[in-house]
């Protein structure tokens, strides 16, 4: 099952490290990453596979929420279908 | 893989443009709860609603979390209570409303619709008792919504019901006067009411519906407004195309949420209602979309044409995005629930008469309009009759949800809080229609072979 993680916030050291650490610890496989910095603003979109994850979706979301508040970022994880349904026929 | 800008676009629609699912509404049939003993009927009703909707709110919450799309309301609609309660000998159905209120509180939904009667051709005993009970029922309950269908294209307009509903609205306003006559915000008078409407206050579960069903209402005025900002000065062909594309995207989310809710709750999927539903929040307004098309204020000449285009394009875009479309499906223009409408009404750009014209080309009708508290019941009936006539002749749903705010006059304001919003009191034509309303009887069904 695929999900989309989006990370937005002021650029700083270790954003990718801290986010992927949570993912690796919970057996979430990263399939694709795109990352840019626009006027000091960090934007990352990741496609991940959560089928091996030991956590329920909501628990994983909570872990990412914790990282988000520690790092002062916005981190969102959503099922891929919402993007599929809006942008594909 | 999709493009990353698509992902960011979706997120910006949700975050900045207030894209949301307005409501997941579970329709529950209560026909099998009818009983000669009213007490027993109410027990069955409570038990069935609580059993069917036990997981509704939690399921909605989980879908909201997992897909990252806000689902504002989880609601319930039931079979018109007049049909169910009619089997009992009760002389008053307020107790039925209290039961609905209790069941709604138990499962955690914020509104339950269906304290309703369908009297477009005439009254049954149950209809008579129910309509008489409406003011007290709405005054005593928090979450119960009521609707009465007084006309249809096939049957014409029941003017006895129109006359009575004017009084019922006045009485409801009086009984809830302390709260700005909020009872009237939960009462809709329909012509051509639909059986699968997920939106309150007019939702009820029609008799042609299955035992239990999931209907979803989408929203998204902010998304349409934002899209139109990108085509300033462009011809209407471009405007219509842009709205269609946006409506398609919005509706696809609705379809996804509807199928997911249906799957998880093991309840059949009914319809997605393609309505653009505003809220009082800035950036979530239908009026602002119309203004984006080039009007100085909503209500200016051109407003009806702008709304007609919007309403049609929303349907065209939405229809292909959903397997089953139903409900009211169009743009809503509730004054108190739309920041731009409130402004337009305050500045005098928007009048009751202009709103009436606008209801000819959109769903649904004169909605959430506060009028002076001393407006007579007969005048309210006159407004209902006009609106019903528009619906009946044009083969569309129309509705009236007026709030004659007790003790208030033109220039004052009512404030209901939350999604019901606030509204300036609008002026009503002061000339009387008493003798017209007192006639009673039925206005015959229209002929539709000569459509001029």
Inter-residue contact B114 to B99 (CB < 8 Å): no
Interface touch B4/A45, C-beta < 8 Å: yes
Interface touch B7/A81, C-beta < 8 Å: no
Provide the pLDDT for residue B17: 85
Residues of chain B with C-beta less than 8 angstroms from the C-beta of A84: 2
User: What is the length of chain A?
Assistant: 89
**d(C-alpha B295, C-alpha B353), whole Å:** 18
**d(C-alpha B226, C-alpha B203), whole Å:** 30
- ipTM score of the complex? 0.89
Q: At what angle do helices B56-67 and A57-71 cross, to 10 degrees?
A: 50
What is residue B425's DSSP assignment?
P
Residue A51: both structure tokens together: 């089928």
What is the domain class of B23-191 according to CATH? alpha beta
Specify the residue for token string 């009297």: B119
Q: What is the DSSP string of B12-39?
A: HHHHTS---EEEEEEEE--GGG--SSHH
* Helices (H), ranges, B266-376: 286-292, 303-319, 339-347, 352-358
Provide the pLDDT for residue B452: 57
Residues of chain A with C-beta less than 8 angstroms from the C-beta of B7: 4, 6, 45, 83
Inter-residue contact B14 to B20 (CB < 8 Å): yes
Provide the pLDDT for residue B379: 98
Residue B33: both structure tokens together: 């709860």
Query: Between residues 17 and 76 of chain A, which touch chain B (CB distance below 8 Å)?
Result: 32, 34, 43, 45, 47, 57-58, 61, 76
Inter-residue contact B29 to B212 (CB < 8 Å): yes
Pairing of strands B398-405, B442-443: unpaired
Question: CA of B392: how far to CAs of A37, B366, B368, B381, B409, in Å?
Answer: 58, 15, 21, 16, 32
Using one digit for the tens of pLDDT, what is the confidence trace for A30-80? 999 999 988 788 999 999 999 999 899 999 999 999 999 999 999 999 999
Give B421's strand partners.
B417
B412 class by beta-carbon count within 10 Å (0-12 exposed, 13-18 middle, 19+ buried): middle
CA dihedral sign, ordered B81, B174, B180, B191 = positive
The verdict on whether omega for the bond into residue B201 sits within 30 degrees of 0, i.e. cis, is yes
Inter-residue contact B414 to B345 (CB < 8 Å): no
Q: Where are the domains of chain B?
A: 23-191
Distance from CA of A45 to the nearest CA of B (A): 7
Structural domain including A11 reads: 2-87
Provide the pLDDT for residue B2: 61
**d(C-alpha B399, C-alpha B387), whole Å:** 7
CA dihedral sign, ordered B242, B247, B250, B251 = negative
Q: With CA atoms as reference, report the closest residue to B334 among B242, B420, B430.
A: B420
Question: CA of B54: how far to CAs of B37, B109, B269, B292, B299, in Å?
Answer: 26, 10, 17, 43, 44
**d(C-alpha B285, C-alpha B225), whole Å:** 8
Distance from CA of B8 to the nearest CA of A (A): 8
- Tell me how far the alpha carbon of residue B446 is from its chain's centroid: 25
B259 touches chain A (CB under 8 A): no
Provide the pLDDT for residue B147: 98
Q: With CA atoms as reference, report the closest residue to B362 among B398, B338, B331.
A: B331
Q: Which parts of chain B sit beneath pLDDT 70? A: 1-2, 449-452
> Based on the structure, what is the number of domains in chain A?
1
Residue A1: which residues within 8 A CB-CB, separation 6 or more? A49, A50, A51, A79
Inter-residue contact B210 to B268 (CB < 8 Å): yes
Q: With CA atoms as reference, report the closest residue to B295 among B246, B225, B357.
A: B225
- CATH number reported for the structural domain that contains residue A45 in this entry: 3.30.70.260
B5 touches chain A (CB under 8 A): no
**d(C-alpha A80, C-alpha B374), whole Å:** 55
Using one digit for the tens of pLDDT, what is the confidence trace for B400-424? 999 999 999 999 999 988 878 899 9
Residue B209: both structure tokens together: 């519906």
Inter-residue contact B158 to B117 (CB < 8 Å): no
Residue of B4, B8, B10 with shortest CB distance to A82: B10
**d(C-alpha A2, C-alpha B65), whole Å:** 15
CA angle in degrees (0–180, nearest 5) for A80-A82-A88? 95
Inter-residue contact B351 to B300 (CB < 8 Å): no
Residues of chain B with C-beta less than 8 angstroms from the C-beta of A46: none
Residue B341: both structure tokens together: 């409408």
Size of interface A-B (CB pairs under 8 A): 54
Residue B70: both structure tokens together: 């806000």
Name the helix (H) or strand (E) containing B370: strand B366-372
Residues of chain B with C-beta less than 8 angstroms from the C-beta of A87: 2-3, 6, 9-10, 249
Provide the pLDDT for residue B1: 52
**Mutation target vs B (from A86, A87, A88; most B CBs, 10 A cutoff):** A86
**d(C-alpha B223, C-alpha B228), whole Å:** 9
Q: At what angle do helices B94-107 and B38-52 cross, to 10 degrees?
A: 20
Residues of chain B with C-beta less than 8 angstroms from the C-beta of A30: none
């Amino acid at each position: 099952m695929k999900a989309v993680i989006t990370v937005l916030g002021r650029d700083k050291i270790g954003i990718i490290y801290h986010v992927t650490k949570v993912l690796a610890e919970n057996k979430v496989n990263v399939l694709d990453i795109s990352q840019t910095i626009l006027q000091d603003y960090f934007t990352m979109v990741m496609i991940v596979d959560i089928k091996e994850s030991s956590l329920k979706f909501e628990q994983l979301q909570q872990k990412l929420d914790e990282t988000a508040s520690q790092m002062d970022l916005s981190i969102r994880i959503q099922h891929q279908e919402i993007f599929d349904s809006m942008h594909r026929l | 893989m999709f493009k990353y800008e698509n992902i960011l676009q979706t997120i910006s629609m949700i975050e900045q443009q207030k894209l949301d699912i307005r409501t997941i509404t579970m329709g529950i049939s209560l026909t099998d709860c009818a009983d000669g003993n009213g007490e027993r009927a109410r027990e069955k009703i409570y038990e069935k609603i609580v059993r069917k909707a036990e997981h509704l709110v939690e399921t909605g919450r989980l879908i909201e979390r997992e897909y990252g799309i806000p689902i504002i309301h989880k609601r319930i609609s039931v079979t018109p209570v007049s049909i169910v309660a009619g089997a009992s000998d009760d002389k008053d159905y307020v107790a039925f409303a209290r039961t609905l209120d209790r069941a709604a509180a138990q499962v955690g939904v914020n509104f339950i619709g269906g304290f309703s009667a369908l009297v477009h051709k005439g009254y049954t005993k149950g209809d008579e008792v129910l309509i008489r009970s409406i003011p007290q029922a709405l005054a005593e309950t928090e979450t119960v919504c009521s609707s009465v269908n007084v006309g249809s294209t096939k049957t014409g307009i029941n003017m006895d019901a129109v006359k009575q509903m004017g009084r019922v609205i006045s009485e409801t306003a009086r009984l809830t006067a302390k709260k700005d006559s909020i009872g009237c915000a939960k009462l809709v008078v329909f012509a051509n009411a639909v059986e699968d409407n997920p939106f309150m206050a007019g939702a009820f579960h029609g008799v042609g519906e299955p035992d239990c069903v999931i209907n979803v209402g989408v929203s998204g005025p902010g998304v349409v407004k934002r899209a139109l900002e990108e085509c300033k000065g462009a011809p209407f062909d471009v405007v219509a195309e842009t709205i269609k594309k946006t409506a398609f995207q919005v509706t696809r989310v609705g379809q996804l949420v509807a199928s997911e809710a249906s799957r998880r709750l093991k309840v059949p999927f009914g319809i997605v209602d393609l309505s653009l539903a505003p809220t009082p929040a800035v950036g979530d307004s239908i009026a602002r979309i119309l203004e984006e098309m080039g009007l100085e204020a909503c209500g200016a000449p051109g407003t009806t044409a702008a709304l007609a285009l919007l309403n049609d394009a929303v349907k065209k875009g939405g229809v292909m995005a959903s397997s089953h479309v139903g409900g009211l499906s169009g743009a809503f223009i509730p004054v108190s629930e739309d920041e731009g409408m409130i402004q337009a009404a305050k500045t005098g750009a928007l009048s009751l008469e202009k709103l009436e014209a606008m209801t000819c080309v959109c769903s649904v009708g004169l909605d959430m309009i506060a009028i002076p508290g001393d407006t007579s019941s007969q005048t309210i009936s006159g407004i209902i009759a006009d609106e019903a006539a528009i619906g009946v002749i044009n083969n569309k749903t129309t509705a009236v949800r007026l709030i004659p705010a007790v003790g208030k006059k033109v220039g004052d304001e009512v404030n209901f809080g939350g999604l019901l919003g606030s509204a300036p009191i609008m002026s009503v034509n002061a000339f009387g229609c008493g003798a017209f309303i007192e006639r009673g009887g039925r206005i015959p069904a229209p002929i539709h072979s000569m459509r001029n």
